[in-house]
Amino acid sequence: MPAVTETRETVEKLAKSSYEWGFETDIEMDIAPKGLNEETVRLISERKGEPQWMLDWRLKAFRAWLEMEEPTWAHIHHPPIDYQDAHYFAQPKKKPGPRSLDEVDPELLKTYAKLGIPLHEQALLAGVEGAEERLPVAVDAVFDSVSVATTFRKTLAEAGVIFCPISDAIREHPELVQKYLGTVVPVADNFFAALNSAVFTDGSFVYIPEGVRCPMELSTYFRINARNTGQFERTLIIAEDRATVSYLEGCTAPQRDENQLHAAVVELVAMEDASIKYSTVQNWYPGDDEGRGGIYNFVTKRGICRGARSKISWTQVETGSAITWKYPSCVLAGEGSVGEFYSVAVTNNHQQADTGTKMIHLAPNTRSTIIAKTISAGHSDSTYRGLVRMQPKARNARNFTQCDSLLIGDQCGAHTVPYIESRNMTARVEHEATTSKISEDQLFYCRSRGLSEEDAVGLIVNGFCREVLKELPMEFAVEAQKLLQISLEGSVG
Amino acid sequence: MSDFLKIQGLQARIDADGTPKDILKGLDLEVPKGEVHAIMGPNGSGKSTLSYVLAGRDDYEVTGGSVTFKGQDLLALEPEERTALGLFLAFQSPVELPGVNNANFLRTAVNAVRRARGEAELDAVAFLKAVRAETKHLSMSDDMLKRAVNVGFSGGEKKRNEVLQMRLLQPSFAILDETDSGLDIDALRIVAEGVNSLRSPDFSALVITHHQRLLDYIVPDRVHVMAHGRIIHSGGPDIAKTLEKQGYTQFLEAAA
């Protein structure tokens, strides 16, 4: 049948070109030798001009890591990772870190322009022209290991907001970093978090003082560029009493045959009546159609609602990475605090994703909502893994969980693994799950209305994910929709 | 003129749990430009199969015959290409698309078709204006535009939504597959009016129905009687009345 041949050709074509962000930037790099030992940790700390307490903290993490083993419980398969075969530090040559955009290598700026990241504030402002009153977005860009530019720092400073590379924060706001770093994800929390704690190179730091509503969206773009380099970024966001912030991260990497390791840690702290919204559009290189290359993405993200009535909301659209291992979690410690998790995870070709969330209810009247949408195509395998735990003091706590899986084709898999632990009689936990396929009837109906097969799949998938996409900030919702479509191109046969 | 839609010796089968079943067995039919034809026939005569084969559903295997539409080999085209060329099928049982906003779906469809026809796409404002005019015409509430496509629609609402799509996509040849089923008399009148107001020298339609009732409102130029996968009799609109009174028996016997 011609339709089959055509689909196959489309797939072949797309497998070669579908990852638009797969370019490499030619920049002179300062790279640490391969391998991981105490010397590496010391070198990183020294290169970053860190104080002694930071080095001590890293070494503590490194020693803990040496005693730990890689977790094996996730539903993912990969050859053993040789942690000695990677570089743990790479930074564009030009030291110390750039102070303004003028000092940034023009090649770098070109890279970000290609990615559509508006680094120049002027360009950004020009981009928001029109009748719509859209808030500008402050961007922190992390290239391999180093944060290269943070925009709008001045405007933010006037509002009392600190938004800067975490390496700057360590030097300039040591009291804040020391007070919060590692309090949500302790150095020895898990294998990958310990690794990150030892060798993290940069990331973003956000501090919103009491009563301040952050005047704009904050955004970080991460890009892995150098070969054989691990990227370990560390993000710390603190919202004091009645503070509000919305933060978005985006990720890309060049196409390479070998796998690259990415192990990030994100910590969020929300005090009384504070609100943190953390959105991710993750598009690391997923590997080719045979499963060669791609990013191994082992990420620990956790937020604590420390104050009463505080709120933490995670929204993620995960379309990239060869392997995704990621469970953004909320610890609901403040009375009446709220945790939310909205997720779309798409896997195609040979991608594997084991992702979900943990909602730990410690205090009375805490509430959590989990909406997880999983889409599997090709030979991919996707698992939702979620824990809802009601501790003895969580009186009248409530959780609602909904997990929906959509299968495209008959070679893929979707699994839902909910863990529910309730230690309080008054707590209420609800769990709903569905699995469906895109039906021939739906496809034919759309096509008979003039839509191509690809557009039809895109439309149906976006409909399936609507509850999650509507949680994303406006501009990124559009980007996410396009990304979903690109990720699934050629997946129907 | 006569080469607008021409079906010759069309044979098609479906795979019924592993065994192929012939449904269309050498069907001949011509619908000239600007005419509305009706097909009537007992259950299982192959009426819906005909509409699906014309629209390009690939569960059906065409085993013989040909279909030309506006001088092109219709059967060689993908479903969306047929729609771009001007064919439209109003479904007997429209499919639900959960989470897909109806207005967004309509606009995506309209712009896909406009693109394929080399016309400029409609922006959100122009589209909304066009769609509002049509929904008013069909006595549809704006609420139906905000809901997910066909999800939770009543039978009548689904059929109106089909007619709405037809009017927005501006086909030159529409197939209405039992569009009257499940409609009360008021809805029937509205739907029929929606079709009738499209009638012009550039619009043709094939109305598939069980009942004479619809043909009181959409008066066809010709009526064809279908049985056992073939057209067994053709004539003027009065055949429908004969059928209503006497049933299919006389035509079946005459054809035997």
Q: How confident is the model over A436-474, as pLDDT tens digits?
A: 888 889 999 999 999 998 889 888 888 888 888 888 777
User: Residue A89 above 60 pLDDT?
Assistant: yes
* Chain-chain contact of A447 with B84 (C-beta, under 8 angstroms): no
Query: CA separation (Å) from A298 to A322, A342, A377, A384, B112?
Result: 11, 19, 22, 15, 40
Neighbours of A360 (CB within 10 A): 22
Nearest CA in chain B to A441: B95
User: Residue A137 above 90 pLDDT?
Assistant: no
User: Residue A97 above 70 pLDDT?
Assistant: no
Q: Give yes or no for a contact between A129 and A117, defined as CB atoms under 8 angstroms apart.
A: no
Structure tokens at A294: 């791609």
Q: pLDDT-derived band of residue A128, with 50, 70 and 90 as boundaries?
A: very low
Query: CB under 8 Å to A466, separation ≥6 — which residues?
Result: B99, B100, B101
Interface test with A, best of B85, B95, B122, B173 (most A CBs within 10 A): B95
The mean pLDDT value for B215-221 works out to 92
Partners of B99 on chain A (C-beta within 8 Å) are 462-467
Dist. CA B30–CA B12, nearest whole Å: 18
Query: CA separation (Å) from A134 to A11, A131, A360, B200, B233?
Result: 38, 9, 35, 47, 65
Name the E strands within A253-351. 259-262, 265-270, 275-282, 294-305, 311-318, 323-326, 329-332, 338-347
Residue A354 CA, distance from chain mean position:
14
**What residue ranges define each of the domains in chain B, with the CATH number in brackets?**
5-96+172-255 (3.40.50.300)
Residue B77 contacts A, CB cutoff 8 Å: no
Structure tokens at A276: 């943190």
Q: Which among A35, A134, A151 has a CA at the least distance from the CA of A86?
A: A35
Instruction: Answer yes or no: is A270 within a domain.
Output: yes
Q: Is residue A94 left, alpha or beta, with left meaning phi > 0 and alpha meaning psi from -120 to 50? A: left
> Distance (Å) from the C-alpha of residue A455 to the closest C-alpha of chain B?
9
Dist. CA A184–CA B150, nearest whole Å: 46
How many structural domains is chain A composed of?
A: 1
* Chain-chain contact of A442 with B95 (C-beta, under 8 angstroms): yes
Partners of A444 on chain B (C-beta within 8 Å) are 55-58, 79, 95
The mean pLDDT value for B20-42 works out to 94
DSSP 8-state symbol, A486: H
Give first-to-last CA distance, chain A, whole Å: 11
Interface test with B, best of A10, A442, A448, A453 (most B CBs within 10 A): A448
Q: What is the DSSP string of A371-412?
A: EEEEEE-TT-EEEEEEEEEE-TT-TT-EEEEEEEEEE-SSS-
- pLDDT score recorded for residue B124: 87
Cis peptide before A96 (omega within 30 of 0): yes
- Chain position carrying tokens 């009563």: A211
* Average confidence score pLDDT of chain A: 80
Residue A132 contacts B, CB cutoff 8 Å: no
User: Residue A73 above 70 pLDDT?
Assistant: yes
- pLDDT score recorded for residue A319: 82
Residue B58 contacts A, CB cutoff 8 Å: yes
Query: CB under 8 Å to A251, separation ≥6 — which residues?
Result: A221, A222, A223, A262, A280, A281, A282, A283, A284, A320
> Distance (Å) from the C-alpha of residue A280 to the closest C-alpha of chain B?
22
Neighbours of A153 (CB within 10 A): 18
- pLDDT score recorded for residue A243: 96
Nearest CA in chain A to B96: A442
DSSP 8-state symbol, B76: G
Single-letter code of the amino acid located at A5 = T
The mean pLDDT value for A384-402 works out to 95
Q: Give yes or no for a contact between A424 and A397, defined as CB atoms under 8 angstroms apart.
A: yes
> Distance (Å) from the C-alpha of residue A451 to the closest C-alpha of chain B?
6
Size of interface A-B (CB pairs under 8 A): 81
Instruction: Answer yes or no: is A493 within a domain.
Output: no
The lowest-confidence range among A167-181, B156-170, B176-190, B191-205 is B176-190
Angle value at C-alpha B208, between B203 and B212, nearest 5 degrees = 105
Neighbours of B10 (CB within 10 A): 25
The phi and psi torsions of B253 (rounded to 5 degrees) equal -65, -40
Dist. CA A309–CA A366, nearest whole Å: 8
Which of helix, strand or coil describes residue A288? coil
Domain that holds residue A388: 2-488
- pLDDT score recorded for residue A129: 32
**Top-confidence residue, A116 or A222:** A222
Q: Give yes or no for a contact between A317 and A347, defined as CB atoms under 8 angstroms apart.
A: no
User: Residue A2 above 80 pLDDT?
Assistant: no
- Chain position carrying tokens 């499940």: B182
Dist. CA B33–CA B36, nearest whole Å: 9
Q: Which among A436, A374, A361 has a CA at the least distance from the CA of A403?
A: A374
DSSP 8-state symbol, B208: E
Dist. CA B114–CA B34, nearest whole Å: 22
Nearest CB neighbour to B55, from listed A448, A460, A465: A448
- pLDDT score recorded for residue A335: 97
Query: CA separation (Å) from B244 to A164, B39, B175, B192, B238?
Result: 80, 13, 22, 19, 10
Residue B105 contacts A, CB cutoff 8 Å: yes
Structure tokens at A19: 């990852």
Q: Give yes or no for a contact between A392 and A424, defined as CB atoms under 8 angstroms apart.
A: yes
Q: pLDDT-derived band of residue A44, with 50, 70 and 90 as boundaries?
A: confident
Structure tokens at A172: 């300039």
* Chain-chain contact of B98 with A464 (C-beta, under 8 angstroms): yes
Tell me whether strands A275-282 and A311-318 are parallel, antiparallel or unpaired.
Answer: parallel
Which of helix, strand or coil describes residue B207? strand
Give first-to-last CA distance, chain B, whole Å: 32
Instruction: Answer yes or no: is A404 within a domain.
Output: yes
Q: Give yes or no for a contact between A319 and A483, defined as CB atoms under 8 angstroms apart.
A: yes
What are the pLDDT digits (tens) for B92-149?
A: 999 999 889 999 999 999 999 999 999 999 988 999 999 998 998 888 888 889 899 9
* Chain-chain contact of A445 with B57 (C-beta, under 8 angstroms): no
* Chain-chain contact of A446 with B84 (C-beta, under 8 angstroms): no
Q: pLDDT-derived band of residue A133, with 50, 70 and 90 as boundaries?
A: very low
**Top-confidence residue, B212 or A225:** B212
* Chain-chain contact of A459 with B108 (C-beta, under 8 angstroms): yes
* Chain-chain contact of B95 with A449 (C-beta, under 8 angstroms): no
* Chain-chain contact of B99 with A444 (C-beta, under 8 angstroms): no
- pLDDT score recorded for residue A26: 55
Query: CB under 8 Å to A364, separation ≥6 — which residues?
Result: A335, A336, A393, A394, A395, A396, A397
- pLDDT score recorded for residue A369: 95
